[in-house]
Structures are given as structure tokens and as C-alpha cells.
Homo-oligomer: A and B are copies of this chain.
Amino acid sequence: MIDIRPVANIIGWLLAALGMIMIVPAIVDFWAGNPDWRVFMISAFITVVAGGLLILATSNAQGSGLTLRQSFLVTTLSWTVLPVFGAIPFEMALEHVNWTDAIFEAMSGITTTGSTVFTGLDAMPPGILLWRSTLQWLGGLGIVLVALIFLPVMKVGGMQHFRSEGFDTMGKVLPRAADISWMLLQIYAGLTILCAAAYVLTGMSVFDAVNHALTTLSTGGFSTRDTSFALYDSAAHWVCVIFMWLAGLPFIRYLQFINGSYRPLFNDIQIRAYFRWTLYAIGAVFAYRLLREDTAVEGMFRESAFNVVSMFSGTGFGSADVSAWGDFPILVLVVAGFIGACTASTGCSIKVFRYLVLFEAIKAQLKQLVYPNRVIPLHLDGRRLDEEVVVSVVVMFTAFVVGFGVLTVLLSLAGLDMRTAFTAAWTSICNVGPAWGSEVGPTGAMNEFPVFAKWLMIGAMMMGRLEMVAVLVLVLPRFWRG
């Protein structure tokens, strides 16, 4: 049996923190004269008490450190328990919102997916809007920490490749995980403040700027507007493009950058591939539209860049009705979403690193076919790729692909049309945000989806965010034994 006390202890602390943060929207609503401040105070109270009780009940377990299995449990439980408590304000404040919708929205927030079941965002009280954005910002921070601290040790999706990069290399400068986390928080908060300031300069209101900055840096994609970015100025679009793209870079590079190592940021093979592929995708969409449409070139280029970067980074903001561009641009966007940004960013999906490993594996396999008796070692960026990393990556890729297929079929069984089922499966497993199809509302909301479909997506968002295998390992009976 696993000792779950240290796990419960951490969940307790996370809940207590989440409850404390709920006071921020309470203050905003109080200040705006909105009665919802009571809801947030009650939710904060419930969450802090629940967290406090967990901490008290498990206080004897503190300081004992986590085993490997406990790490797996902490990761999955964090992304299961926190959304439930994060959903309390939605359920209490909005009368037409039931528990399914509230948990959907909170899970979509914490996993930085950005799919929404809410409509009429423009008329919503500021506290609720801020809470949605805050959940995404916290979820983005959380996933970067998990990717830096847990995944390399858990060896999920080939992340052990970065083991020596994270704490070991950094170790000379920053000996402890708490230090890294603290620096990371500063970088993440700093970028968010920069982004918000830039939005304000483009003419966005301070409230909108803060919310969109929170959901840009987390590649979350929740907006305070039903029309997402379509309403804003072209300057705001470019600010968004830049920060969405930056949010897709490995945050460890920013840490190194700030500590005086500039080269890793510019020499990272993953960042370079991400840069090239983004340009190719923008070029393909822009060229296609240029040949077929007769609208202003600047707008066409900006919209192409905005929506490609939005999908590639997994943010999911929209600036235009992309479904009017034709099927080829949409497919490019879908493929971009299936790729995703860099590892250890706030971005999601399979990620550039894993495609680089897959392509290396295919190349090596083809060479192997020509030289059957030669040992062909795999390299990435001059560094040896462990066989273990390759297997780990292909297993994660296979789990993603098979999971996507199964989810599409199940969503269709739940009653969604094929196009909706396909894009909803994609958007939830890859944590992108938008979906297209007849059941999707005019503002992109998924409130009309059947309940069963919503729950399937809730599960898929969570599994996709934790790179599938980190959750699947819990279904092994032997995980719980001995």
C-alpha cells in the first residue's frame, strides 16, 4: 500500500493556497459593487477549511519526501481535486450553471485548455471573469513546475532527457527546488506584467489587459469577451502573438538567460524547430488565403499569424472566423495543435521535442533497415538519445493517438456530430480550446454539448495535460500493490 498521507498533505496545502487566492476576486467584486464577493468569500472559506483539515490530518507525514508513486498520485490528484474546489464559485454565483458545467469550466481553466461552457461573457461580473483567468494562470505555473520537478524523475514522455538540464545543471547556481520554483514564479509573473502593460498600451482596459495577460502567458485562452480577440486593435493582436509564442518556450531557458547564460535560449534545437515550424504554418495559411481571398493583406497576414500561433502554442484565442477561410487553413491549425509548443512551457499537446525524437527514430530505423547489422545510436542536437527516452516518447505518442481515436468515437456516441466530435477530442486532449461543428455555439461555447460529452472532455483535458501516461499509470493494479 502507498502511504497517501504525504500526498494528502500536499493537496491540503495546495487547497489552502487556492482558497486564499479566491479572496482576490472577492475583493474585485466587492470593489465593483457586485454581490458575488460573498460567494468568493464562502468558497474561499470552504476551500481553506478543507485544505486545513487535510493538513492537520496528515501533519505527522510532513517532511518525509515523496516516493515515485506518491509523485504520480500528487500530480493526478492535484489536477482532479483542485478543479472541483475551483468550480465552487462558478456553481454558486451563476444560477444557470450546474456542477457539470462548473467543473468543466474549472478543469478547462486549470488544464489551460480554454474551452468554455459559459456564454454572455461580456455581461459577466468581474470576479467570475478574473477567477477564470486566475485558474489558467495557476494551471500554467503548475504545469511548468511539474514538468521541471516531477516529469523528469517520473520519466514521463521522455522527460528524463532533460533530467541533467533542470536541477543538475542549474544546481551549481541554484541548489534547491524551492529556489528554482521561486525564480520561475518571478519570471512567469514578470512576463505576465510585461504582457498586461503592453496590452494596456494598445488601448485595452486595465481589467481586460490583466485577464488576457493571465491567459496569454498560461497559453490558456479564456477571454473576457465572447468574441475573444476579434474586438481588439491590431496592435493588441501582435502583442498577443509575441507573448503566446514566448509562453511556448521552455521556461528553463529563461532561468538560464536571467542567470547569464544567453546561448541555451538561442541554441535550443527545440526552440529553433518550433520557430521554423511556426513560420511554415503561418506561410502556408497566409499564402493560401492570399491566392483565394480579396481582402486587405495586412489583416490577412495578422490573422494568419495570430491564429497559427494561437493553435501552435495551444492558447486558443480567436481573432477571426477561421472556418470561413476554408478547410486547408483549419487543417493546418489542427495539425499545429497536434504538435504543440516546447516541453516545460505552459503549452500543451505532444510538443516539438517529441516530434524531433520521433523523426530521429524513423531516420535511425530506416538506416537500420539498410545496415541491419550495425548499431545505430540516436542523437538529438549532438547529444545521445537514450533508447529509454525514445521508447518513452513513442509510447506517449501512441497513447495520445489511440486516446484521441477512442475519445472521438465516444464523443460521437455521446451524440456529437463527426466534425464536432473530432475537434472536441482534439481540443480537449491537446488542451487547445476551440472546436468547430454544428453543436458549437456562435461564440464558440460548448454549453449545448450533452452531459456525457462534457464529462468525457473533463477527463480528457486532465489526461492530456498530464501527458496521458502520468495518469494511465494509476490504472495499473500493481501501482497500488506492494
Contact = CB atoms under 8 A, between A and B. Distances in A.
Interface in A396-434: 397-399, 401-402, 405, 408-409, 412-413, 416-419, 421
Contacts of A156: 369
Contacts of A361: 391, 394-395, 398
A362 B421 CA distance: 25
Given A369-B154, A391-B390, A362 B472 contact: yes
Interface stretch (A128-136, A231-239, A297-305, A331-339): A331-339
A392 interface: yes
A446 to B, nearest CB: 17
Given A335-B409, A361-B391, A394-B398, A421 B369 contact: no
A330 interface: yes
A332 B409 contact: yes
A420 to B, nearest CB: 9
A413 to B, nearest CB: 5
Contact of A413 (B155, B328, B391, B418): B328
Interface residues of A, number: 52
A372 B68 contact: yes
Interface in A134-168: 154-156
Contacts of A368: 155
Contacts of A417: 327
A290 interface: no
18 contacts: A68-B369, A68-B370, A154-B369, A155-B369, A327-B412, A327-B417, A327-B418, A328-B413, A331-B418, A358-B398, A362-B399, A365-B392, A365-B469, A367-B476, A369-B473, A387-B387, A391-B394, A401-B401
Given A68-B372, A362-B398, 5 more contacts: A327-B416, A332-B409, A387-B387, A391-B394, A401-B401
